[in-house]
Structure 1
Amino acid sequence: LELDQNCQFDFLAVYDGLTTDTGLIGKACGVSRPTFESSSNVMTVVLSTDYANSYRGFSAQYTSVLPSPPEPDTSLTCSSDRMTIAVSKAYLDSLGYNETHLQLNDPSCRPVTTDQVIFSFPLSSCGTTKKDEDLSITYTNIVTISESGNVITRKKIVQIIAKCIMEKNSTLEVIYVTENNIIQNTASVGRYNVSMSFYDSDSFSSPVLESPYYVDLNQTLFAQVSLHSTDPNLLVFIDTCTASPQSDFGSVTYDLIRSG
């Protein structure tokens, strides 16, 4: 190709895609040997010449490489009564899938789709399994990403294993993404959704709504602690209950219940 500093006469133009509308990567002319890399499996090379001077042309070599595997873009949120699993549509697109290719243990539970594909369901539903251990209860569900039906494909089958681990007064969220025996996980910590209310009698039918709640000395108090969960087998156990004349529970405290 003709030697020219600005590649104005005889040159090669390399484009990042199937046509010249996909973006110019760069130009080459003279005896230079630049290297160009496309963002996909298609590259367009255009030879441009003018009417003057004739040369032997050009030669080029190319190689193909496997792209880096996409990073999983998923999240898990656990509360006392729900599990929410979110998968980004961009991550699905990078795998060649869409929201129709996702399912939980119970395929009848379907997601809501925005810029993410979101499964949000009660802990005791959608095929969620429950494992009761000494100090924790683990709820597990699996999002499977694969082609529908008995289709033979080279696409990867991906499983997102979501676990909500309920321990004492906290919630541990763990999410695993399995892909060709590669396991990736993230974890975060939350709290149980527990509320405490005062009532005006031992019938516990009328809660006290005013705050602060003023009482007389030696007056009997009726309090109820509730755990808000969709799992009917969970129970609330009060370990410690402390009273104090100070709002910050400073130096003076009185144990009403200690260690159950």
Structure 2
Amino acid sequence: MELFKCLFSVVVVALLACDATAQNYWSMPLQEHQAPLPTQQQPTVPPAAAPLEKCQVEQGDKIQCGTPDTTAELCENLNCCFDGSHCYYGNAVTVQCTRDGQFVVVVGRDATVPKIDVESVSLLEMNDPPCTPVDFTSAFAIFQFPVTGCGTTFKDEESYVVYENHMSSSYEVGVGPRGSITRDSHFELLFQCRYSEAGVEALVMDVTGVPPPVPVAAAGLLRVQLRLGNGKCPTKGCVEENSAYSSFYSEADYPITKVLREPVYVEVNILERSDPNIILNLEHCWATSSPNPESMPQWDLLIDGCPNQDDRYLTTMVPVDGSSGLTYPTHHKRFVVKMFTFVDQSDFSPQRDTVFIHCSVEVCYPSSTYACEQSCNRQRRAVAAGRKVPSNRKALVSSGEVILTKQRI
């Protein structure tokens, strides 16, 4: 049985406020032999924002939250636990935003059931040293980095500015001849810092205890569709490619018919996302004669986002930009294929009169080190192929049935 690492998640949302000015939000674990801190008035139970289970942290595993003189009220505002003498991080995933523009993220191993391997937690972009954990313990992983770095995206809203980043844990999958399993916990964290004149807010999306991934087009936060255009030129002399994508075949229209070399207009697009910074890239597009994308025979249409050079009738990429009228042009990719049929491998006689188109895609987040641009230069393709993309930013989508019909005379 082969083992490999994957990433996947589903998210739920919670909103918490952070109004602290301290820059040192954490320090190393509190040891039992340390001198006790000055006694402060202590409630008999943890604050409402800190459930009892969350605050049941072994003494040797406690990590100080805030400064030594942090009060119970401020500790609650930091979404931490207070035991009467000091403030500490609970068995959870805690995200904080500092006024000097820092993310502080502390991930507890007991945030999931079964316990998560905190060493498997990472930011989705961690090429630079500041993007790796600043410290590990057996129970916690601690991150602190500028809101302008490590792949953080920026949005300017009406009354505040938003910085958003992603964090994931990996999990191990066992692959057997008839199925795949995992026994590890895993999550993805999508988190924001919102800065305004009124103060600072942390918007946290946290996941625990989700089921393993399923083989569909919706992988975690990513939902993608593939559809075929059927628009017609309304006037003489219009550009056919532009008109073709003005309307699309519906599920009820399939199977559709085409003749040899007739153009098939393909569009792949992201669904239900409004982030203008993300970019959809096509990794590999191919055709089969059955609905199963792994069936044989196959014919490559796009390889690393570029037309298959072994095809005499090259697949044509259709630019999608601001002139397309789309709200988010970077969420769409379009290309044109000339209709063909599969032939027998032994005598090359036409055998298959049906075609299904499939595309594996990824969502890319531009950064200072990677612009998400796909180039059809061989050297640039080799560099892009070496990038490690989490599985929750990938998807596989397929078309309905396209039937070859006799050539019209």
TM range (shorter): 0.3 to 0.5
Q: Choose 1 or 2 for highest CA Rg.
A: 1
User: TM-score normalized by structure 2?
Assistant: 0.24
Richer in helix (by share): 2
